Amino acid sequence: MTDLRLKNILDRSESYVGKAAQQVKAEPIIQVENATRIYQVGSNNVHALRNISLEVPKGVLAALKGRSGSGKTTLLNLIGGLDKPTSGTVILFNEPLSSMTADQLVDYRRHRIGFVFQSFAIMPLFSARENVELMLRIAGYNEDRKVAALRALDIVGLGPWANHRPWELSGGQQQRVAIARALATHPDLILADEPTGELDSGTGRQIMALFRYIVAREGITVVMATHDPMIEEYAHVVYELSDGQIQDVHYPHPA
Ligand SMILES: Nc1ncnc2c1ncn2[C@@H]1O[C@H](COP(=O)(O)OP(=O)(O)O)[C@@H](O)[C@H]1O
Ligand SMILES: [Mg+2]
């Protein structure tokens, strides 16, 4: 789609930016304390994360920025409860992940966190709406899934494309289906790993702007890993990673 509809969404998002950014001082939704993650590869130890500490405030678009191999995916996996630190603590929604049972973690991932990946990972034989409905079903969502799916597709500007299948959609549109799928369950947090990695730069910008809009409109916190310098134009807070450490934290769009 192009993209009057999307343009309207992005224009509208401008008026929300100040509001969301004021929350940069809000309470943390994620706290990582002295987290180290060492992978054993044969007899070698790979230090993917070295004693990382950070806090992500609620209600912002936060970026984990760094080159390939800097530790972004490892950190996202720790935050999402998909992996555990070798040492250190990850606290999500004020609860240490280490104190949760496996069932509680699954519950968290289904209901409180949405995931978006570089490769979209949507089902090729399902329409946009069916892709979103499938996620709602997995999450045990009992309300009208069709209505909820259409609402989510509307938010990402794909309302008119709800019945189209992935092959009829551009890469940017497919990624927006994946984003609709992630937000349809009303999570507190969306974790996105290089969501613009397979898109051209203009489309990548639209995805970043869309995340900012979602933060403002839905109150969802978004943490996005990227190596794209353009993120500086969109993120409220940027954590720069290098060689498994945080080199810098800055606030390109404070209040
Ligand atoms: N499953 C794994 N086994 C061994 N080494 C890994 C594994 N996952 C990541 N690494 C290593 O950890 C470091 C950080 O990787 P990663 O978190 O994927 O970085 P990024 O997402 O920034 O590219 C890299 O040196 C990578 O090779
Ligand atoms: Mg990665």
Ligand 1 atom nearest to 70, measured from its CA: 22
Average pLDDT along the chain: 90
pLDDT recorded at residue 237: 96
pLDDT recorded at residue 182: 96
Pairing of strands 28-41, 113-117: unpaired
Tell me 216's DSSP state.
Answer: H
Write the burial class of residue 48 (CB in 10 Å: 0-12 exposed, 13-18 middle, 19+ buried): buried
Pairing of strands 113-117, 95-96: unpaired
Assess whether pLDDT exceeds 90 at residue 183: yes
| Domain region containing 238 | 4-27+59-70+101-250
Handedness of CA 244, 246, 248, 254 (dihedral sign): positive
Write the burial class of residue 125 (CB in 10 Å: 0-12 exposed, 13-18 middle, 19+ buried): exposed
Centre of ligand 2 from the C-alpha of residue 73, in Å: 4
pLDDT recorded at residue 254: 65
Structure tokens belonging to residue 123: 């089902």
pLDDT tens profile 2-50 = 444 455 544 444 444 444 444 456 789 999 999 999 999 999 999 999 9
pLDDT band at 84 (very low <50, low <70, confident <90, very high): very high
pLDDT band at 253 (very low <50, low <70, confident <90, very high): confident
More confident residue, 26 or 128: 128
Centre of ligand 1 from the C-alpha of residue 69, in Å: 6
Assess whether pLDDT exceeds 90 at residue 194: yes
How far, rounded to the nearest angstrom, does the alpha carbon of residue 61 sit from its chain's CA centroid?
9
On the CB side of 68, how many CA atoms lie within 13 Å of its CA? Answer: 1
Q: Where are the alpha helices (DSSP H) in the chain?
A: 4-22, 72-79, 102-111, 128-138, 145-155, 171-183, 201-218
Query: Phi then psi for 82, rounded to 5 degrees?
Result: -85, -15
Query: Is 147 a domain residue?
Result: yes
Q: Please give all residues whose beta carbon lies within 6 A of any atom in ligand 1, as ranges.
A: 39, 41, 46, 48, 66, 68-74
Query: Is 76 a domain residue?
Result: no
* Residue whose tokens read 């989510």: 152
CATH number of the domain where residue 116 is located: 3.40.50.300
The closest ligand to the CA of 52 turns out to be 1
Contact residues for 178 (Cβ-Cβ < 8 A; gap 6+): 116, 117, 120, 121, 122, 131, 195
Write the burial class of residue 232 (CB in 10 Å: 0-12 exposed, 13-18 middle, 19+ buried): middle
pLDDT band at 83 (very low <50, low <70, confident <90, very high): very high
Least confident of 17-26, 96-105, 191-200, 201-210: 17-26
Least confident of 23-27, 220-224, 242-246: 23-27
Total domains in the fold of the chain: 1
The closest ligand to the CA of 244 turns out to be 1
Centre of ligand 1 from the C-alpha of residue 25, in Å: 31
Query: Is 83 a domain residue?
Result: no
Query: Is 32 a domain residue?
Result: no
pLDDT tens profile 61-73 = 999 999 999 999 9
Query: Is 149 a domain residue?
Result: yes
Give the CA distances from residue 40 to residues 16, 43, 90, 208, in Å, rounded to whole numbers and listed in that order: 45, 7, 21, 35
Assess whether pLDDT exceeds 50 at residue 107: yes
Query: Is 53 a domain residue?
Result: no
pLDDT recorded at residue 92: 96
**Ligand 1, atom 10: nearest CA belongs to which residue?**
48
pLDDT recorded at residue 146: 96
Query: Is 120 a domain residue?
Result: yes
More confident residue, 2 or 86: 86
Centre of ligand 2 from the C-alpha of residue 193, in Å: 7
Query: Is 79 a domain residue?
Result: no
pLDDT recorded at residue 142: 84
For residues 140-157, average pLDDT: 94
Distance between CA 106 and CA 81 in Å, rounded?
9
